[in-house]
Amino acid sequence: MTSATNALGAAMLALAVGTAAAQVVPADAYDVGPPTLSCLITENSIGPLRIGMTLGEARKAWPEAKFERRAGLDELVELAVVVDRQTLVISDIGYDIPPGALPDKTVLRNLATYHPWCKDARGIGSGSLLSDAAAAYGGLVVIRKSDIEQREYASFKATSPRMHFRVDYTSIFYPESPRSTTAFKPEARLMGIEISAY
């Protein structure tokens, strides 16, 4: 693992949680992480963590990981899953959680990764070119911009509706359709992949 990888993981996470400025990271900045790491993304899981799992089950499933409480937007509590000093997975776990607590009974209803060490079976993950993701998943359907956070999400023809592909603000929106597009810059990349129970 290199210092460049550490910096990259931190940069992608900072961008993911609210930095609206565009950021494009060169493809050769990414590596695959430690040889023992298994961080496969599916429609139901990231690494050994599954949607619907309790935090107690998650701790047992990924004993190498540290589970940290972090502050999200608007008092939302986030769970950060850290492996080898890298934040690999984030889960929004709710609002009504006592300060400092991370109860084992907490249910993981969503999982997200913005780290290039985690990829799906097609090799798609954070940092993948949007054009590669479109090719892997049967073609791009649309890129939509969220109303409040202005986040950009791409949908593809052959993906589960439970998977959400966040784009790095390199889509091209036109005045006649300010919230949806199929146009993007050649260097457009995925910031990360999010999965949910709904």
* Structure tokens that stand for 176 in this block: 């006649």
* Structure tokens that stand for 55 in this block: 């935090």
Which residues, other chains included, contact 146 with Cβ-Cβ below 8 Å and sequence gap of 6+? 152, 153
pLDDT at 7: 44
pTM for the model? 0.80
pLDDT at 31 over 60: no
When pLDDT is cut at 50, 70 and 90, the band that residue 65 belongs to is very high
154 neighbors 135 (Cβ within 8 angstroms): no
88 neighbors 77 (Cβ within 8 angstroms): no
In angstroms, the Cα distances linking 125 to 32, 117, 193 are 11, 8, 7
Query: Which tens digit of pLDDT belongs to each residue from 103-146?
Result: 899 999 999 999 999 999 999 999 999 999 999 999 999 999 99
